[in-house]
Amino acid sequence: MGPKFESTFGSAFAIIEEIERKGGEAFIVGGSVRDYLSGSEVGDIDIATSEPPKRIQEIFEKVIPVGIEHGTVLVRYDGESYEVTTYRTEKGYQDYRHPDEVTFVKDIKEDLARRDFTMNAIAMDRHGEIVDPYKGRQAIEKKEINAVGNPTERFQEDPLRMMRAVRFASQLNFSIESRTKLSILEQVDLLSYVSIERIAEETIKLYKGKGFKLGLKLITDLGLKPYLPQLNKIDLIRTIPYVSLQTWPEVIAYYTSAYSEAGVKEWVKEWKLSNRSKRNTEALLNGLQEYERNSKLTQWLLYNLPSYLYPSFSRLIRACINIDDHLLQKMEEEKFHLPIQARNDLAFQAKDLLLLYPDLKKGPWISETMEKVEYAVVTSEIPNEFEKIKEWVSKWNPPANS
């Protein structure tokens, strides 16, 4: 099959070969097969096997029982981790997510029958031979998303699959087949049974997709928008960003800057995001406001925005304004040439300020003064030299001791 084939799946094939040597059967399944057949970059490689978890634990030295009750273990092999799951069938989904009954089986085709979409219901052996009972390869060639079997049943098993269909459309730039699309329209209210955390994960993957514009249109056309907090109040078609956004802070900053009446706090609360996401969103918004005030990158913007947010900020600006692709490089270069990188780099510190005004009682005036010093140095109003800063500060009239 060629060196690329071997380099992509080599270690996984070694695991399969070892299982076969011990009398079992195994295949690579799911997204990695889909990505390989569609020419996309292959992500995590999952393996399905006829052998029960206990047998896999006997065959391999390093096995972690991550989901052993559902037949899944993690095999550590050649420095990498592979999920190995026993062929299974599933029955009953009272909670619209987890099967009420899991039965281990010996036929890979039975296992493939429980999967969501035909493009994900393909198995590949270690020789590159394909097992494709639902014409998933044909769906990939047609760039079409089809539910396995009856789409109504697939979405009732886990309504999140409706969001997954739209997310895959965005990631792969595929269309959704008419029966599958109709079933989403008819059952969209089942999304109310799905946790917002799971919906959030699919939503941000949609925004990352190369076909995110198609994804946002499908969100609207298929009636999914009411189940997306805050986004449900925005015309997603008229407000499409120029480039894809990769993180929730980018998405929230983009919409709250111009299209949303809600603040960052409301977005974070309703989507149940982390405090870190809240802080990052606020930092991006502050940077965006500084950029819009000055119509350019400023030293103060680059100084205050954490460097790890530079890629996010670059995408945010491009999403809003559609400027060139060299913004990130420019930011990193200009950050390097700032007079200081942090307040601790100032040649004049708070202790020096207190020595300059020994009769003043400590209070907010200290931090307020140091902020002015910091701003003046960062913006090159004064050089970062002790005597120059001291002289600059001495010209002021500090607040009287109250």
Query: Annotation-wise, does 116 bind a ligand?
Result: no
State the residue for tokens 């790890």.
308
Query: Annotation-wise, does 167 bind a ligand?
Result: yes
Number of Cβ within a 10 Å radius of residue 294: 11
Q: Are 323 and 292 in contact, with CB atoms under 8 Å apart?
A: no
Work out the end-to-end distance of the chain between its first and last CA atoms, rounded to an integer number of angstroms.
82
Residue 30, Cα to own-chain centre: how many angstroms? 20
Q: Are 195 and 153 in contact, with CB atoms under 8 Å apart?
A: no
Q: What are the backbone angles phi and psi of residue 344, rounded to the nearest 5°?
A: -60, -20
Cα 152 to Cα 155, 161, 167, 186, 234: the distances in Å are: 5, 11, 18, 9, 29
Residue 27 DSSP SS3: strand
Q: Are 366 and 286 in contact, with CB atoms under 8 Å apart?
A: no
DSSP 118-173: GGGS-EE-TTS-EE-TT-HHHHHHHTEE-BSS-HHHHHHH-THHHHHHHHHHHHHT
CA 100/CA 370 separation, integer angstroms: 62
Query: Annotation-wise, does 44 bind a ligand?
Result: yes
Q: Are 253 and 207 in contact, with CB atoms under 8 Å apart?
A: no
Residue 189, Cα to own-chain centre: how many angstroms? 25
DSSP 60-99: -S-EEEEEGGGTEEEEEETTEEEEEEE-EEEE--TTSSS-
Return the bridge partners of 90, or none: 102
Query: Annotation-wise, does 46 bind a ligand?
Result: yes
H or E element: which one contains 130? strand 130-131
Number of Cβ within a 10 Å radius of residue 43: 11
Return the bridge partners of 72, or none: 67, 85
State the residue for tokens 């109310």.
192
Query: Annotation-wise, does 161 bind a ligand?
Result: yes
State the residue for tokens 């917002």.
196
Query: Annotation-wise, does 31 bind a ligand?
Result: yes
Query: Annotation-wise, does 221 bind a ligand?
Result: no
CA 236/CA 219 separation, integer angstroms: 8
Q: Are 33 and 124 in contact, with CB atoms under 8 Å apart?
A: yes
Q: Residues annotated as binding site for Mg(2+)?
A: 44, 46
Q: Which residue numbers belong to the known binding site for CTP?
A: 31, 34, 115, 158, 161, 164, 167
Binding residues: 31, 34, 44, 46, 115, 158, 161, 164, 167
User: Which residues does the annotation place in the binding site for ATP?
Assistant: 31, 34, 115, 158, 161, 164, 167
